[in-house]
């Protein structure tokens, strides 16, 4: 088989139809006699791509008019600094919820800029649970509340929106944006690295409510100033043009799948199938509380961890690749983003059943 | 013809052989059953790409061991802020040379961080000359000296290295790096957006002498901290993986051309051919002093500017595209980077001669 089922956590699998289109027009895009990556970002042809990326994202996520949609560089990691530099103003406090590796990294970065109030932490459960929605201890004077909606490494996903907060909510949705419907208007800022559900790596999506603009630190580069970038079609500097082109194709693909509501049904079916297999088995295990489980990233272990390398090698033979767990936790992880088809999860479940019969 | 000769100033033309290889393996790279843009940046396969990019860059530019080579995001524009944030320490002064639009933008950005001493400016000649090497007024207490080695918009290129300065020299080589041999050891920092001679957009090359590290501003994101990125193979955050893959292919292509010394000969031949035609003509004009002319970006005008749109339309019919001058200056501009072949400049010169015969 030319293409494997690729469970990589990111950069992750892309829709095959998108890759085939990119391949077909790689040397001659739109009859220009040049690749899309060889034309000026200031050309009408390329500006249309960025405009379409914004419009399709607005349509798919039902983003209200009073939100800006921008595409930046530097990954979600850079946003850990850019968010305080854009939003703090004279405020000196941030409320943060800790539910896994990525929200912990955000805390480590943001504490350079402000006093951090930990509104809740699930560290005591080794990040296998969610905090109770009514047990979040917000301060009254914070600039914003930060949380990570889906923890890629820990396999934990919020099953509620953090709401009724004294200050605007900022959410890292890198690994679950576009995977389910949600109400954008509940948020001040939503940000996401592209390399899971949006496209290839190199682009960071930022959705920001316009009343939060205007407080950017004067020492920050214009390139990371939300207000300036939103006024300049995200092109104060030369953007990663090929990545944006790919995003445009991925968003079109998602529209053709029926949009976010339709892909959410598929995502639920995929996750249910995989968790059911794990839960019915004495051989596989997932450590996360049922109500905290991610529909995107499913970490699992085999009771006898000596079987891990055999499992991974045999899975690869079957065309099921990149199932290694994160280097910090070991075991296995199946990332089942939008572009990983239902058939891929079926194939994985069949393989896991067979493997259990042989080695269990 | 499927491919035109593309004179775009950036993102600019890429070697056709590179695009053909990328096209062939776009859905299945190295037999992985996945695209290179669908695999983890932490995988051995991908880390090898970044390591090769560094090694090839070191080899092509003969970079000494005491320099770090890193690949960042945000473009040269972001470096206008990252350079002071990485290098200033307790210093409060920067020496800057102004020779065109890009060095002026750098001054505008860097003055947020320090007092700027303009060591020289050619603004009075409308950026058509170079400052005399012995007439640069450096301060004794600056953190560094900044200049732009090739001004993409103005078509001005230094014909000497700024040397014998009291503080380390920082050079923006976005539009002429890898186009000619030069002595890296004369510089403290060299930086370049990739989208001219290195690869597609989305990556910024930074070459930094290691004794300049260790002074980074604590409020800066780790993602832009030269020292931290150099210790982490430029992968503190997820890099733009496809762009780095393309850079690896472009650098291999350049090695196959015979390296920088060989491409320099071709570049000189291309520039000489085009400037000779302009200088021998009463019909075309280039405003830049002969000793200040860029070998990469050749802006030119037609005496009767009403002919500009006719020139551009007829050139396009002949497969000579993206010859429009920068929106700030008008006229025409031929960017003739490494990947624009000699045959392309020959075709342009033939077209220009014919056009002059018809309309001159």
CA distance B1 to A165: 60
Q: Are A262 and A252 members of one domain?
A: no
CA distance A162 to A67: 19
Q: Last residue of some domain: A256, A286, A304?
A: A256
Q: Is B234 left (phi over 0), alpha (psi -120 to 50) or beta?
A: left
Tokens at residue A40, please? 């000026």
CA distance B200 to A72: 16
What value of ipTM does the predicted structure carry?
0.97
Q: What is the CATH number of the domain that holds A328?
A: 3.90.1150.10
CA distance B90 to B112: 15
Mean pLDDT of chain A: 97
Question: Strands A5-6 and A320-321, how do they pair?
Answer: parallel
Would an 8 Å CB–CB cutoff place B4 in contact with chain A?
Answer: yes
CB B73 within 8 A of CB B202: yes
H or E stretch at A171 = strand A169-172
- Could you say which of B32, B238, B319 has the minimum Cβ distance to residue A193? B238
CA distance B176 to A153: 42
DSSP secondary structure letter of residue B28: S
Q: Last residue of some domain: A241, A256, A271?
A: A256
Q: Are A236 and A138 members of one domain?
A: yes
CA distance A293 to A157: 6
φ, ψ of residue B305 to 5 degrees: the values are -70, -10
How far B243 CA lies from chain A's nearest CA (Å)?
Answer: 8
φ, ψ of residue A47 to 5 degrees: the values are -55, -30
CA distance B319 to B167: 47
Assigned domain for A8 exists: no
Most distant CA atoms of chain B, gap in Å: 63
CA distance B27 to B40: 15
pLDDT of res. B268: 98
Q: At what angle do helices A241-256 and A44-61 cross, to 10 degrees?
A: 40
Q: What is the CATH number of the domain that holds A137?
A: 3.40.640.10
Tokens at residue A151, please? 């923890």
Per-block mean pLDDT, blocks of 10 residues, chain B (360 long): 91 98 97 97 96 98 98 96 97 98 97 98 97 96 98 97 96 98 98 98 98 95 96 96 98 98 98 98 96 98 96 98 90 98 98 96
Q: Are A171 and A136 members of one domain?
A: yes
List C-alpha distances in Å: A29 to A34, B2, B132, B136: 6, 10, 45, 47
Residue of A148, A192, A135 lying closest to B238 (CA atoms): A192
Q: Are B220 and B303 members of one domain?
A: no
Assigned domain for A173 exists: yes
Q: Last residue of some domain: A223, A256, A289?
A: A256
Mean pLDDT of A90-114: 97
Tokens at residue A179, please? 């995977």
pLDDT of res. A336: 98
Instruction: Report the domain count for chain B.
Output: 2
The answer, yes or no, to whether residue A1 has pLDDT greater than 70, is: no
CA distance B40 to B206: 23
Question: Strands B144-148 and B169-172, how do they pair?
Answer: parallel
* Chain A contact set for B201 (CB, 8 A): 37, 41, 238-242
H or E stretch at A20 = helix A16-24
Q: At what angle do helices A259-280 and A44-61 cross, to 10 degrees?
A: 60
The answer, yes or no, to whether residue A358 has pLDDT greater than 90, is: yes
Q: Are B85 and B215 members of one domain?
A: yes
CB B11 within 8 A of CB B4: no
Q: Are A194 and A241 members of one domain?
A: yes
Assigned domain for B217 exists: yes
Assigned domain for A131 exists: yes
CA distance A253 to A242: 17
Q: Are B156 and B67 members of one domain?
A: yes
> Given pLDDT bands bounded at 50, 70 and 90, which one contains residue A327?
confident
H or E stretch at B284 = strand B284-285
Q: Are A27 and A170 members of one domain?
A: yes
Assigned domain for A1 exists: no
Quick check: A241 and B11 CB within 8 A?
Answer: yes
Catalytic-role residue among B196, B248, B253, B270: B196
H or E stretch at B46 = helix B44-61
Query: How does pLDDT run across A166-180, given as a tens digit for each residue?
Result: 999 999 999 999 999
User: Residue B111 catalytic?
Assistant: no
Query: What is the chain B residue with the closest CA to A79?
Result: B221
Q: Which domain holds residue B151?
A: 17-256
Q: Are B241 and B285 members of one domain?
A: no
DSSP codes of every residue in A36-105: GGGS-TTSHHHHHHHHHHHHHHHHHHT--TTEEEEEESSHHHHHHHHHHHHH-TT--EEEEEE-SHHHHH
Q: Is B214 left (phi over 0), alpha (psi -120 to 50) or beta?
A: left
Assigned domain for A106 exists: yes
Q: Are A143 and A215 members of one domain?
A: yes
Q: Are B186 and B296 members of one domain?
A: no
Residue of B74, B76, B142 lying closest to B114 (CA atoms): B142
φ, ψ of residue A301 to 5 degrees: the values are -125, 165
Query: How does pLDDT run across B4-56, given as a tens digit for each residue?
Result: 999 999 999 999 999 999 999 999 999 999 999 999 999 999 999 999 999 99
Would an 8 Å CB–CB cutoff place A133 in contact with chain B?
Answer: no
Assigned domain for B89 exists: yes
* CB proximity list for A252: less than 8 A, separation 6 or greater: A56
CB A161 within 8 A of CB A190: no
H or E stretch at B5 = strand B5-6
* CB proximity list for B263: less than 8 A, separation 6 or greater: B178, B179, B254, B257, B338
Tokens at residue A11, please? 């950069």
CA distance B334 to B117: 33
Q: Are B102 and B238 members of one domain?
A: yes
pLDDT of res. A73: 96
Assigned domain for A3 exists: no
Quick check: B32 and A321 CB within 8 A?
Answer: yes
Q: Note which residues in 150-169 of chain B have CB less than 8 A from chain A.
A: none
Selected residue of B5, B11, B200 to mutate for chain A interface (largest A Cβ count, 10 A) = B11
Would an 8 Å CB–CB cutoff place B241 in contact with chain A?
Answer: yes
Query: How does pLDDT run across A235-285, given as a tens digit for each residue?
Result: 999 999 999 999 999 999 999 999 999 999 999 999 999 999 999 999 999
Catalytic-role residue among B172, B248, B253, B270: B172
* CB proximity list for A283: less than 8 A, separation 6 or greater: A302, A303, A356, A359, A360
CA distance A199 to A21: 14
- Could you say which of A3, A11, A201 has the minimum Cβ distance to residue B33? A3
Quick check: A221 and B39 CB within 8 A?
Answer: no
pLDDT of res. A329: 81
Residue of B152, B148, B176 lying closest to B162 (CA atoms): B148
- Could you say which of B22, B33, B74 has the minimum Cβ distance to residue A73? B74
CB A146 within 8 A of CB A80: no
CA distance B92 to B208: 20
Mean pLDDT of A200-220: 97
């Amino acid at each position: 088989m030319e293409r494997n089922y690729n469970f990589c956590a990111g950069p992750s699998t892309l829709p095959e139809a998108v890759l085939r289109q990119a391949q077909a027009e790689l040397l001659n895009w739109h009859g220009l006699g040049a690749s899309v990556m060889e034309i000026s970002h200031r050309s009408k042809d390329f500006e249309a791509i960025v405009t379409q990326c914004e419009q399709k994202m607005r349509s798919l996520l039902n983003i209200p008019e009073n939100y800006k949609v921008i595409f930046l560089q530097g990954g979600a990691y850079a946003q850990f600094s850019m968010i305080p530099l854009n939003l703090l103003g004279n405020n000196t406090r941030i409320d943060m919820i800790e539910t896994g590796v990525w929200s912990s990294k955000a805390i480590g970065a943001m504490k350079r800029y402000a006093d951090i109030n930990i509104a809740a932490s699930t560290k005591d459960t080794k990040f296998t649970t969610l905090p109770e929605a009514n047990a979040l201890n917000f301060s009254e004077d914070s600039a914003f509340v930060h949380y990570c909606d889906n923890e890629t490494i820990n396999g934990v996903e919020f099953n509620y929106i953090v709401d009724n907060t004294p200050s605007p909510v900022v959410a890292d949705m890198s690994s679950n944006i576009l995977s389910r419907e949600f109400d954008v208007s509940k948020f001040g800022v939503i940000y996401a690295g592209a390399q899971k559900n949006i496209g290839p790596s190199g682009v960071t999506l930022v959705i920001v409510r316009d009343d939060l603009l205007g407080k950017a630190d004067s020492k920050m580069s214009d390139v990371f100033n939300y207000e300036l970038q939103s006024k300049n079609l995200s092109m104060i500097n030369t953007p990663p043009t090929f990545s944006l082109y790919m995003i445009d194709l991925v968003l079109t693909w998602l529209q053709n799948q029926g949009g976010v509501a339709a892909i959410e049904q598929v995502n639920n079916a995929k996750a249910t199938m995989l968790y059911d297999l794990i839960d019915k088995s004495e051989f596989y295990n997932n450590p996360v509380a049922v109500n905290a489980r991610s529909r995107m990233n499913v970490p699992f272990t085999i009771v006898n961890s000596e079987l891990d390398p055999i499992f991974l090698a045999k899975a690869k033979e079957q065309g099921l690749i990149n199932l290694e767990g994160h280097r910090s936790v070991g075991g296995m992880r199946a990332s089942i983003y939008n572009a990983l088809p239902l058939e891929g999860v079926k194939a994985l479940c069949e393989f896991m059943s067979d493997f259990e019969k042989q080695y269990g």
